[in-house]
Structure 1
């Protein structure tokens, strides 16, 4: 049996907000990507593009933040298991980094393609 409390919307929301607070306190990459997101959200609203393009732009922008969150979670779990150098731990962290890299590549390609279409 899993050691999991009964579902409670408000408690689960507080857990999520605690995670976001922790990311903001401790993760420089997340902070940088959050600033990029804050700067580019108005672009999505202001550009003259069809709704599908705006949704794609929003999804890829949020995807960066999601990927960075996943990477941070992977790094913390690996560090919980071992702080010593371990090949498998390093590979897990590298894969987490590749998630971020791929999300940023998807963001850049999507935005450049859409913006080129609009010009």
Structure 2
């Protein structure tokens, strides 16, 4: 029976050179990558721009409406969830397109599932806002 090599001495694949950063340098780099991702999504994704506009309208409204703190938090979270899901959907679409632009049933499935996730997050906004504003029992 052979023993495995000590941890970190041998890998079967090459890892990203950016993974070695630690501490504040890693946080600083992560912030810049995140801002670049938001910028890219805003520049290249129509749906993300539309949802940012929706968020720009709904977030101040949620804070202004006379509902409880928990209600405000739920309303804000539901809107931010749409943006998160749209970013993930856009990342999936970009990755699928990077692999191949040809029509393939698995590529279509991946894109359709991402789109369905966005739809469910939008339905969630309507339900949360409706329940908070109508004061569900």
Superposition TM-score, scaled by structure 1 size: 0.94
Q: Which residue of 2 aligns with 1:70?
A: 88
1:3 counterpart (9, 16, 22): 16
Ranked by relative contact order (alpha carbons within 8 Å, sequence separation 6 or more), the top structure is 1
1:79 aligns to 2:97 (yes or no): yes
Aligned-residue offset at 1:3: 2.0
Q: Which residue of 1 aligns with 2:56?
A: 38
Q: Which residue of 2 aligns with 1:113?
A: 131
Aligned length: 118
Superposition TM-score, scaled by structure 2 size: 0.82
Aligned pairs for 1:84-95 within 5 A: 84-95=102-113
Aligned-residue offset at 1:47: 1.1
Q: Which residue of 1 aligns with 2:76?
A: 58
Report which stretch shifted further, 6-15 or 73-82.
6-15
Report which stretch shifted further, 3-12 or 80-89.
3-12
Q: Which has the higher helix share?
A: 1
1:12 aligns to 2:4 (yes or no): no
Work out which of the two has the higher radius of gyration on C-alpha atoms and give 1 or 2. 2
Aligned pairs for 1:24-35 within 5 A: 24-35=42-53
Unaligned runs of 5+ in 1: none
Report which stretch shifted further, 30-39 or 109-118.
109-118
Aligned counterparts of 1:80 and 1:90: Cα–Cα separation in 2: 14
